[in-house]
Structure 1
């Protein structure tokens, strides 16, 4: 496919997404219909689509319309591409620009539009990040870095870097924590690499790893990952020597790949349903990485930014408060409840913690924050200790 043909395909896929089809479903459908497309074509198309979704508002302003064509035109203008050479109508290229398209488009307005944040969310975003809000929004217009976690149960960071280099993957230490690597070359080959298949490394954002590194873990502890999801933090916990790790999720199907991933990593993890978690309680430390807006990881899942509404946000706040109380009930007297989100929004972080503390019986020991301006996803962690003796 020519570069122009890839742009036209991106226009068509984006129109499906804007009409309500999930991004992955739209991309998969295009791939099935386009057997002629090679791996480089599919990768380029994916990049175009996700670049446009990350910068949907600002690209729509530059392109003059919030349509697939408008977003791709905005992308071309933002990247300084020669629009006249790409929108030719020749072969499978996009049709030439109309006079209205040539005259249309503008620079995005400062604030929510320039930062690619929904209008209703912008006051919350700005209140949470202050003077850094617009810069944080603009950072999320680009792709997230690729980070790996070194499985210290199997190797060390220097050896993992060397093993990856032997397969054409260049990685360097990331300052967020001692297990974190940032991949600078060869990222598309990670899933096929021996280092990954042999469990030496796992794909995981550096701040997500740093959350586990910040937990007060000690040999002999029984630790529950209460909202385990796919199990990234569960596996990071299981690499810590001397602790017993359990995983739970309200939707157990999210953990379906965890046993295979644990086996690849050489990790011991016991999966619990809700009734089993209650029977096995109390735990010395309970990690509750609660469902949230995902505002710290919108570079990786940009559709979520546009799908979030005030009503959905309010529902998430209620779920977070419920999860805190459920996880607290499983924590031993004197034990630690670690509340985490992949959000940069204060209402989901400090607000949720304060509402929980107001119920009594707990104290806040420490808080950690990471935002996208530090080269990671945005994460929050609060460490809470049970102060009353009842269980």
Structure 2
């Protein structure tokens, strides 16, 4: 979308000069010849920055700037005053009126382009921060309730395992034989690994959500040429997860060799969360299929299990800190796995779909772009 610049000057010739100086920039230029026309225009249109002449009849630039700053709808629009005034006192008055920057007359093309570009960057940053703030405000209450419900349980369980084992080692160290000590240390390690996994998932989800809601970062991520091989990031990770769950024989991996345009860590995390869920909610001895194949100019990843499925309502409510105990049809835990996979798909891919039968069986599919090497 083209950045817009409103030029306020009672002399049309000055607009022509500025238009000439900015003609190589990809800006939409608008013109207002007076303060009244400026305020009327702002009621229906908000530019990305304003070039405001100070010396004008009826309503000068100082007064216009003050009125802009007094209106909550307009106060965030950057204002550059264009003035022949050079005394420090005059410039101080401009800033006191709410100006963000100034350009001296006669206008220099290099200076004009640099200052306008600077103000547009500031406006872009403000818009990004405002978008993040609105996102946080909209989700804050929901996150509060979910975190208050899920985090204590999820963190207390492994913490109690660690502290309980430590207490036993301290209180009865001399009475515990080597084998029992080894068992307690293994319990502590397992609990610590579980807690570390929870923390890493939380940090991963936070990073992905910030990327998704920050339009500039999202565009940068999507334009980056990643080169991640499927055999290691999908097939390799899937086999590791199956082995960890002692279900190596249940895994059916049919992944074509390809290079995908997605960050390696995120593709690995996507595979890990989906395969881990499929193994968790299906019985030993039933297959978990991981399929990767070229389809419709993209690379489709599918994870299929024959375990307990989800209802349409559960699928719609997938989000952070909402996890389903499918065996009892209840929500519990942090539930970041599906939320992470869904967010990764939204950032890098398209057509994220979940097909599930509450009576048994779930298929998760997404399309990712591949790289022609």
Q: TM-score, normalised by structure 2?
A: 0.27
Using structure 1 for the length normalisation, give the TM-score. 0.27
The answer to which structure has the higher helix fraction is: 2
